[in-house]
Amino acid sequence: MARRLAALLRFWDVLQGPRYAFWFERKDTLEELIEDIYGMTLKAWCPGSTASVREHLALTVERIAALSPKDFENLSSAYRYAVNGPLCAWDRELGRH
């Protein structure tokens, strides 16, 4: 997942131009599309963040990339309460808390 989101970030500027038809009768910007699809995941990985969607995505990628694949698999549901405990522990370990 981190690799997919990182690839999205690499091409962010190019992908911002088009509009995306994700729902009927609606054309979304890239930020609106990412918020619609990954909004709950981004909020679970970065609770309380007021950053832009792009910055939020970059922080999420950094945190997801810090996990081993086994740890990510255990928490990939991204339910806020399932993620917050281990995320706080990892933040303390990384000296970010």
Task: Name the token pair of 95.
Answer: 């000296």
Confidence at residue 73, expressed as pLDDT on a 0 to 100 scale: 63
Confidence at residue 12, expressed as pLDDT on a 0 to 100 scale: 92
Most confident of 19-23, 36-40, 52-56, 68-72: 52-56
Segment 63-71 shows an average pLDDT of 75
SS3 97: coil
18: left (phi over 0), alpha (psi -120 to 50) or beta: beta
